[in-house]
Amino acid sequence: MNPGTAGECIKCRTEKRKLAEISSEKYLDEKMREWQAQQKSERNKKNKMIAGLSGAFIICLTAGVLAVKIVIPNMHYAEAVKQMESGQYDAAIEGFSALGDFKDSPQQTVETIYRKALRIKENAESTEEYEEALSLLDSVKDRKACEDIIQKTKFDMAGFMLENAETVQDYLDAQDIYNNLADDMDCEEKLLECKYQIACLYSKTEVHAESARELFMELGEYRNSEKCLAELLAEHIELTDAYKQAYEYCENGSWDSALEILSGMDPNNESVKELSVKCYDLKYKAGLEYWSSKNYAEAFKEFNSIKDYKDSAEYLDKIKKIQEQQEAEKKAAAAESSVSLGELTSWLNGNWSGDGSYWKNVTFTKITDDSMMLDGTFTRESGRVGSAAKISKSSVQLVFNIDAFGFKDIIVVTKTGENSATVKFWSVTGEGIKGKADIIHLSR
């Protein structure tokens, strides 16, 4: 406040009266109350503002949670359903899988995989696509009944393989599938077709011709199997029953039977030629074995049936000469055996004269066919009776036991003519042969 009588403050130019008023206690109390009221009002406004903001935040937060938990998943779910219905299966599967357990997303995932598998199956243009469809179906078969469609897919895949097969293995693969399905589905016609196609391919190769024959025989009247079999056998004689029989005969040693069958077949056929030569060679070897063992009769049979093979004709000539010689010997033996002991002793019966010391005059007397009496041969007593035995057709042996001297005399008389003979004489003791005489000539 300015001193003196100035009407206002020299610094702030406030009237002195006003300054006195605002300096009073009453004034100050009033202003304090106004300030406090103002502060309270401001606090209330602030609290209301905070409360409003908190409510808005809670509302926003709740709305966000609802959006995350319900609204957005519903949007994604609806999008996945739309994708499934429009055939966008991969996107739909991804969408449903991302939703986890939201609503029936797991079931929708299975359904989408199932629909994808059906779409692939219906449009399949390769075995790989059928296998993909089967793989998808297999992945959901525990959660969706689809065993029938799995079987149908396999059946269709086998049909695709059969229709597009080019090799035996292709047909075998299709055949395996049909065999596995045969208990539940009618696959008989398809299996016959697989077998027929395999037989046709086999018939084009030498190494599998026998397999082709067996398959065509099993097929019977299916399609033109009988005609195919006839053509196959015409080209491959070795597959015919007749040839097989000939082969079996050859292996068992019945070569003549084998050659008889082969003689009715095409002689220019390589298989017929080979088997015929094999039979000839085996017969030739058998002939050689018989020849080595001197079984000339059997050797002749073998060589005679293949006389134009190798040197069989030469062996036949050799065998004929041997057989002629053997026949001559047989005849000689027969002639020899035709002279009996009785005939020899009858011829010897009678008086003979000889050039030996004791054989000047000798008489042989026939007692029986196999015994004779000898007189006038020795100074020893005469009238000795000895046994007679035939040695050959012209020789007879007489044995006389000399009891008085303890030895025996052996005399061999050989016919040299009707009225001539030779004599060989031995005296035999316990120590051996003694007094062996030279040949004595007799005449009647």
C-alpha angle 367/414/383, rounded to 5°? 30
Check: CB of residue 341 under 8 Å from CB of residue 369: yes
Check: CB of residue 302 under 8 Å from CB of residue 293: no
The token pair that represents 404 in the structure block: 């008085």
Q: What φ, ψ does residue 207 adopt, rounded to 5°?
A: -70, -25
* Residue 436: pLDDT over 80: no
* Residue 165: pLDDT over 90: yes
Across 126-137, average pLDDT: 96
Q: Per-residue pLDDT tens for 99-120?
A: 999 999 999 999 999 999 999 9
239-262 burial code (b ≥16 CB/10 A, e <16): bbeebeebbebbeeeebebbbebb
pTM: 0.51
* CA–CA distance, 151 with 30 (Å, rounded to integer): 99
Check: CB of residue 388 under 8 Å from CB of residue 394: no
* CA–CA distance, 370 with 386 (Å, rounded to integer): 9
* Residue 55: pLDDT over 90: no
* Residue 400: pLDDT over 90: no
Check residue 59 and give its pLDDT.
Answer: 53
* Of 69 and 161, the one with more pLDDT: 161
The token pair that represents 312 in the structure block: 């069989």
Q: Per-residue pLDDT tens for 84-94?
A: 999 999 999 99
91 in helix, strand or coil? helix
The token pair that represents 209 in the structure block: 């011709």
Helix H or strand E encompassing 163: helix 147-164
The full 3-state SS of 253-322, as one line of letters, equals: CCHHHHHHHHCCCCCCCHHHHHHHHHHHHHHHHHHHHHHHCCCHHHHHHHHHHCCCCCCHHHHHHHHHHH
Check residue 379 and give its pLDDT.
Answer: 46
Tell me what percent of the chain is helix, strand and coil, each rounded to the nearest 5. 60, 15, 25
Check residue 12 and give its pLDDT.
Answer: 58
Residues in the chain: 444
Across 380-407, average pLDDT: 77
* CA–CA distance, 128 with 242 (Å, rounded to integer): 48
Check residue 432 and give its pLDDT.
Answer: 67
The token pair that represents 13 in the structure block: 């130019």
* Of 8 and 71, the one with more pLDDT: 71
% of the chain surpassing 90 pLDDT: 53
Q: Per-residue pLDDT tens for 197-248?
A: 999 999 999 899 999 999 999 999 999 999 999 999 888 888 899 999 999 9
What domains appear along the chain, each with residue ranges and CATH number?
30-143 (no CATH), 146-235 (1.25.40), 246-337 (no CATH), 341-443 (2.40.128)
* Residue 274: pLDDT over 50: yes
Check residue 409 and give its pLDDT.
Answer: 81
310: left (phi over 0), alpha (psi -120 to 50) or beta: left
Across 261-271, average pLDDT: 89
Across 26-36, average pLDDT: 74
Across 352-376, average pLDDT: 86
81 in helix, strand or coil? helix
Q: Per-residue pLDDT tens for 401-434?
A: 766 566 788 889 998 889 999 888 887 776 766 6
Helices and strands, number each (H, E), in the chain: 17, 9
Nearest to 112 by CA among 97, 131, 127, 130: 97
The DSSP 8-state label assigned to residue 436 in this structure reads: P
* Residue 50: pLDDT over 70: no
Mean pLDDT of the chain, nearest integer: 85
* Residue 56: pLDDT over 90: no
Using CA of residue 344, residue 350, residue 352, residue 356, what is the dihedral sign?
positive
* pLDDT band at residue 337 under the 50/70/90 scheme: low
Helices assigned H by DSSP within 67-101: 72-85, 89-98
Give Cα 315 to chain centroid, integer Å.
Answer: 45
Check: CB of residue 79 under 8 Å from CB of residue 94: no
Check residue 49 and give its pLDDT.
Answer: 72
The token pair that represents 92 in the structure block: 């739909």
* CA–CA distance, 390 with 336 (Å, rounded to integer): 11
HSE-CB of 371 using CA atoms within 13 angstroms:
7
Nearest to 249 by CA among 263, 231, 234: 263
* CA–CA distance, 40 with 32 (Å, rounded to integer): 12
The CA dihedral of 304, 306, 308, 312, to the nearest 10 degrees, is -60
